[in-house]
Amino acid sequence: MTTTIKVSDETKQLLDMLQAKMTLTFRRKKTLTELLDTIVRLALKHENELLETEKLPPLEKDPAMKKPIDWGVNTDASKIDEYIYTET
C-alpha cells in the first residue's frame, strides 16, 4: 500500500540532498520510499529523544525571555529579607 504525502519545497530539497548523500555513501540509489522508511525506523528507535525536543520551546522562542512581565506590584528591594524570612 502506498500513500501520497505533500511536503514543502524546502523539505523536498532536504530529502533530495539526503538521498544524494546516501547514494554516494552506499553506492546505490535509495528510492524516496526507502529513504522515508529508514527515517521513520530511525525516529522510532530514538522516540524518547524525539519527544523530549518537543516539550519545551527553544530559549530564544520562549515568550517569557522577550519581555519582563509587569505584575503591577511595587516592591522595595531593601526589604527582601523581611519578605522572605518573616512569618505571616
Residue with cell 524516496: 32
- pLDDT per residue as tens digits for the range 43-75: 999 888 877 765 666 666 666 666 667 777 777
R_g of the chain computed on alpha carbons: 25
Contact yes or no for 46/40 (Cβ under 8 A): no
Residues 34-39: what's their mean pLDDT?
Answer: 92
Evaluate whether residue 72 is within a structural domain: yes
Domain count, the chain: 1
List Cα–Cα distances, 78 to 24, 52, 83, in angstroms. 66, 41, 10
Contact yes or no for 19/32 (Cβ under 8 A): yes
Assessment of whether the complete model's pTM goes beyond 0.75: no
Evaluate whether residue 1 is within a structural domain: no
Evaluate whether residue 25 is within a structural domain: yes
C-alpha cell at 42: 530511525
Residues 3-29: what's their mean pLDDT?
Answer: 92
Question: What percentage of residues in the chain have a pLDDT greater than 90?
Answer: 42
Evaluate whether residue 18 is within a structural domain: yes
Evaluate whether residue 2 is within a structural domain: no
Domain span at residue 42 reads 9-85
